[in-house]
Chains A and B, each alone.
Chain A
Amino acid sequence: MSLLATNVGNVKLKNPVLLASGTCGVAAREFSSYFNLSELGGIVTKSLGIRPWVGNPTPRVVEIPNCGILNSIGLQNPGIEYFAKNELPFLTEQNATVVLNVVGETLDEYIQAVDYIKNRISEFSAIELNLSCPNVDGGLDFSQDPKKAFTVVSEIKKITKIPLWAKLSPNITDITVIGKACIDAGVDGLSLINTILGLAINRWTKKPVLPRGVGGYSGPAIKPIALRMVWQTYKQFPKIPIIGIGGIHTTDDAIEFLLCGASCIQVGTANFANPKASIEIINGLKDYLEKNKLSSISEIVGQAHQNKTPVSARH
């Protein structure tokens, strides 16, 4: 067994590096030009609904210099049925580990989408519920109201045995409140974090750049915020597996998330500038284990919490 193999709760992964939803097309097909999809810990599909979603008008992305990007894609996706018929066979053939990301406008839509694949436990390693898209009306509701988060997670748990992760929004005062609601409802893992609400202004037109005004902020600038939320959540709920997401571009970034308590990580916006970012991180983690004579990557998960805060870092 590879030193990088890891368990995220009851989900077994070859290594702790996955491609994040919304940053690898519908089903990561495009990445197969650069490496075998089976080399990854897994791929997380585009958020899929029970019906196709059209998506937002353009421009959909604006670059924030030196910091990352602001996006407003609006969850354009072909729907779960199209995915299951046209994309999933390719992923199976490639021997890829697949996490299905699901979205709905209403509780019923989440249920219908999961219901469509609920018994296909051999094809999906996990389901990740997107409770946190900032780019559609009401997209954040499930991630800002603990009662709604509890309801959607518990309803989905009733209909499928596929392990369930909930992807939470950072656009909230205390992420552990929503985390607790999901845990109480039986969630198997928490994906932290989705994008941060932001805005970009065009000084010449004197209007927001993106048609909906706000967009989701991602890239290097959000890493400290994501790390803080992983840290807080792990500290309060050390037993619940955390999937770390947010500004991960390098092996060092990935290690920091693992030390904070993430069992695995997802590479997102970094894929846009470098299709091989995830593979470079996997190779970097192998080197890290060898150099530090570790027998398993899971040894470092949460390690930052065991060490006392150095005096110089106290305030």
Chain B
Amino acid sequence: MSFKSVFIKAELTQNIELGKDYYVSWFNAPEIIKTISPGQFVMMESGQYLLRPFSVYEIKNNNIGFLYRVIGGGTSFLSKLKIGDKVSIHGPLGKGFSLPENKQKPILIIAGGIGIATFPLVARIAHEKGYKVKTLFGARSVNDLVCAEELKKYGELESITDDGSSGKKGFVTELLTNELKKNKDQEIFVCGPTPMLKSVIKVCNEFGVIAQVSFEEFMACGYGVCMSCVIMANGKYVRTCKEGPVMKSDVVAV
């Protein structure tokens, strides 16, 4: 999909604390929303030298929202912004998820931890277009199952936690294995930490299904010019910011 990305100063309109260390920050950014597609990301000024990548959580009335967990200087900076503060936002960037041509094919979302942040928008758009959507969500504990209720609006959601504090104790790959045993003919969208992505891809390979996976590598620029965020795909280093972040699971070595 072709799109034009912009580099703008955007104003914070709302900062919502979703739970311990989880926030959603909303910015007024009609220029970015205009061309966005689900699964894309932006680079955002966050008090550091380089901008930081954030996946797009939702869009609403000219506002773009980012869901994140405060884990370092950049996310801490964002969580402390006040309404009216302006930051540079560069986007939309990268290639997002593609909905299947066959509208009867169900969408199966696999989220690990804060990887969930990219899916409310994806799930809503798929739901509105008439796709059946189901989400499998793995997180560390009950406190990390953020925006699960929101995703339930668009379809069924099953969760699993590392410590068993909500739902079953275990990893999301268990839920995926059960799901694929029932039906392999689903369009699978994956986002989460790299070790989880690798485990999910292995399960997909075992079942002979190809997933759309959103990859993450440290990126300096986010728009394809620095060559730092590469992953090995089909034997070549490709840029996760430009050829990705969403790529087919069969091109990536795990």
Contacts and interface: CB of A to CB of B under 8 A. Distances in A.
Say whether A associates with B: yes
B227 A65 contact: no
B49 A68 contact: yes
Interface in B82-131: 88, 90
A272 B5 CA distance: 15
Interface in B215-236: 217-221, 223-231, 236
A22 B228 CA distance: 11
Nearest to A276: B7
Interface string B39-70: 00000000011110000000000000000000
Contact of B230 (A25, A31, A58, A69): A58
Interface string A22-53: 11110010110110000000000010000000
Contact of A272 (B217, B226, B230): B226
B4 interface: yes
B237 A55 contact: yes
B76 to A, nearest CB: 13
Contact of A275 (B73, B90, B219, B229): B90
6 contacts: A33-B223, A69-B49, A220-B49, A274-B7, A275-B90, A275-B225
Nearest to A30: B224
Contacts of B219: 61
Contacts, number: 89
Contacts of B223: 30, 33, 275
A73 interface: yes
Interface centre among A33, A64, A272 (most CB of B within 10 A): A272
Contact of B48 (A55, A60, A65): A65
A34 B7 contact: yes
A60 B219 CA distance: 9
A69 B220 contact: yes
A163 interface: no
B74 to A, nearest CB: 10
Contacts of A313: none
A208 interface: no
Interface residues of B, number: 28
Interface residues of A, number: 35
A86 to B, nearest CB: 15
> Across chains A and B, which 5 residue pairs bring their CB atoms closest together, nearest first?
A61-B228, A272-B221, A25-B225, A60-B228, A30-B224
B224 A55 contact: no
Contacts of B221: 271-273, 275
A76 interface: yes
A58 B221 CA distance: 15
Contact of B49 (A23, A46, A273): A273
B220 A54 contact: no
Interface in B181-223: 217-221, 223
A43 to B, nearest CB: 11
B90 to A, nearest CB: 7
Contacts of A58: 217-218, 228-231
Interface centre among B4, B50, B225, B229 (most CB of A within 10 A): B225
A275 B226 CA distance: 11
Contacts of B229: 58, 60
A89 B219 CA distance: 28
A66 B49 contact: yes
Contact of A33 (B4, B226, B231): B4
A219 B229 CA distance: 18
A272 B48 contact: no
B218 A69 contact: no
B226 A23 contact: yes
Contacts of B217: 58-59
A33 B242 CA distance: 13
B50 A272 contact: yes
